[in-house]
Structure 1
């Protein structure tokens, strides 16, 4: 899925969708851009999501 589609979806559904991006990384390339920062950002977002929905 192109990033623009994901961004539009997140924009249209802000109460439901949270889009996590890594600046300077292409779509699906976040891990390769900075594996540590991406893993940290992903873990942080996942923990927040689970805390909100459990």
Structure 2
């Protein structure tokens, strides 16, 4: 299952997009994950300072 972003917790800092090896994350006001490109590696989950991303 692709990474999911909790929009209430996401501040749009962009740290997740910087570490995504698949470049599957874009930013608007919050992070947006493209599920077709997500590798489910968890790099974004580990990098997010607000715990706004999960892989469940």
Q: TM-score, normalised by structure 1?
A: 0.29
Higher relative contact order (CA 8 A, sep 6+): 2
Of Structure 1 and Structure 2, which has the larger fraction of its residues in helix? 1
TM-score in terms of structure 2 length: 0.28
